[in-house]
């Protein structure tokens, strides 16, 4: 398909071409080929090569994750500003290091082993329901449900509240898109306020009635961090809980949805994994490379920097385009081919360096269990209608994926 742009050097991330959502990978590939350090019209830079993005990730002393300067013009003195500038993902050391230590225990091999049986049971229950229906929307019937239930179990959120949590999370994360409507801004702020109110009540209850078996529960760890010598302010506590609930399911939902879609679009790879289930680990990595759940990550340099031979003034924001890096032919052989046995596979879908996704091991575990059980249970899986891609840039989301499950 021919993309709708005469000169790629005129590309504007904040005003992309009308066909961008459908053809974003073609635009990103062309940027990487023609202008890998692309100056956006607003003065920010779009970075598309694997090598340059790795350099940014690895040099956290130069490239800051702090978003106060970037988010103030966008959010002003609002609930969204408070949340997104207090989330661990948008904080620099030493505060980042202090807060991240609390999360670490939730994703140790011991903690994941504890979760594994729960994830398997959830998957089996969802698949039983889907098998009876035969024709399903994989997104709503599986890909949304699994990560939400897993992260809510980890955080100890009651089942009755999980639909609310999911809706609030979508509104808060939606505000991270490059452009934001007035309604999206209002919805995002309202969601933060409702989330905070909910969590204040939940935290107050937990403090009065601590759970006995809280070793595997991260919300209890956050609440009791002070006892471990890690002080969290009330604001920090609230926003780390919100962040975990938000980030804990969005990326996994996208990974699962795209993973099934790629297996259906590439039936040879579906038959391949059915014949050799030992490929499940590399298959999940290839899904993550081929369709990164988060498409764009950002940094701002503290001082003037040189990247790819281009001098970038201090205080400049850069947009790191992860699908462009993941399809860089200088790093990957035949990058446009979905190959579930690909090795090596140094994709950047979970980031790199000190800000690498803390929950990446949990997302990988969810993917391996889910796809192992799906391909083992069903003889074939067919598309009923083409995947419906959401109109989002930062997250590559499938809104609807109707499929037929053949037992």
d(CA 31, CA 54): 17
Nearest Cα residue to 90 out of 299, 395, 313, 231: 299
Parallel, antiparallel or unpaired: strands 388-389 and 37-39: unpaired
Digit-coded pLDDT (tens) for 173-182? 989 998 899 9
- Flag whether the pTM goes above 0.85: yes
- Tell me how crowded residue 22 is: count the other CB atoms within 10 A of its CB: 13
pLDDT at residue number 212: 52
Question: Taking 90 as the threshold, does the pLDDT of residue 336 lie above it?
Answer: yes
d(CA 401, CA 198): 32
Token representation of residue 281: 């680990």
pLDDT at residue number 312: 98
Digit-coded pLDDT (tens) for 46-70? 999 999 999 999 999 999 999 999 9
Question: Taking 80 as the threshold, does the pLDDT of residue 159 lie above it?
Answer: yes
Q: What percent of the chain is predicted at pLDDT more than 90?
A: 72
Q: Output the CATH code of domain 8-406.
A: 1.10.630.10
pLDDT at residue number 246: 82
pLDDT at residue number 153: 83
pLDDT at residue number 154: 77
Interval 114-118 mean pLDDT? 90
The span from the first CA to the last CA of the chain, in angstroms, equals 35
Interval 216-241 mean pLDDT? 74
Q: Which residues pair with 391 in a beta bridge?
A: none
pLDDT at residue number 215: 47
Q: Per-residue DSSP letters for 267-322?
A: HHHHHHHHH-GGGHHHHHHHHHHHS-SB-EEEEEESS-EEETTEEE-TT-EEEEEH
Question: Taking 80 as the threshold, does the pLDDT of residue 372 lie above it?
Answer: yes
Which residues touch 152 (CB under 8 Å, ≥6 apart)?
A: 159, 161, 162, 165, 245
């Amino acid at each position: 398909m021919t993309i709708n742009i005469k000169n790629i050097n005129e590309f504007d991330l904040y005003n992309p071409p009308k066909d961008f959502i459908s053809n974003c990978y073609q635009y990103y590939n062309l940027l990487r080929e023609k202008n890998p350090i692309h100056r956006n019209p607003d003065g920010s830079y779009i970075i598309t090569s694997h090598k340059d993005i790795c350099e940014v990730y690895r040099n956290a002393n130069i490239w800051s994750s702090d978003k106060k300067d970037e988010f103030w013009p966008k959010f002003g003195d609002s609930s969204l500003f408070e949340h997104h500038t207090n989330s661990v993902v948008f904080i620099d050391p030493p505060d980042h290091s202090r807060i991240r230590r609390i999360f670490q225990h939730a994703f140790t091999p011991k903690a994941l082993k504890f979760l594994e049986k729960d994830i398997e049971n959830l998957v089996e229950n969802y698949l039983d329901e889907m098998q009876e229906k035969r024709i399903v929307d994989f997104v709503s019937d599986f890909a949304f449900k699994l990560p939400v239930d897993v992260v809510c179990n980890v955080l100890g959120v009651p089942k009755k509240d999980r639909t609310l949590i999911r809706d609030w999370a979508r509104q808060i994360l939606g505000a991270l898109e490059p452009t934001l409507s007035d309604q999206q801004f209002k919805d995002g702020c309202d969601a933060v306020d409702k989330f905070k109110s909910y969590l204040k009540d939940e935290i107050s209850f937990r403090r009065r009635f601590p759970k006995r078996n809280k070793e595997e529960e991260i919300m209890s760890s956050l609440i009791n961090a002070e006892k471990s010598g890690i002080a969290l302010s009330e604001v920090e506590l609230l926003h780390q809980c919100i962040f975990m609930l938000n980030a804990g399911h969005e990326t996994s939902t996208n990974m699962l949805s795209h993973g099934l879609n790629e297996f259906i679009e590439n039936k040879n790879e579906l038959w391949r994994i059915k014949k050799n289930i030992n490929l499940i680990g590399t298959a999940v990595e290839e899904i993550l490379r081929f369709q990164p759940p988060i498409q764009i990550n950002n940094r701002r340099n503290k001082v003037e920097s040189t990247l790819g031979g281009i001098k970038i003034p201090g205080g400049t924001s850069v947009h790191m385009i992860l699908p462009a890096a993941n399809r860089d032919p200088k790093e990957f052989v035949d990058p446009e081919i979905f190959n579930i046995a690909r090795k090596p596979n140094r994709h950047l879908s979970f980031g790199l360096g000190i800000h690498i996704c803390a929950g990446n091991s949990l997302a990988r575990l969810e993917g391996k269990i889910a796809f192992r059980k799906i391909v083992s249970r069903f003889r074939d899986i067919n598309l009923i209608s083409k995947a419906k891609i959401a109109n989002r840039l930062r997250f590559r989301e499938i809104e609807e994926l109707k499929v037929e499950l053949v037992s």
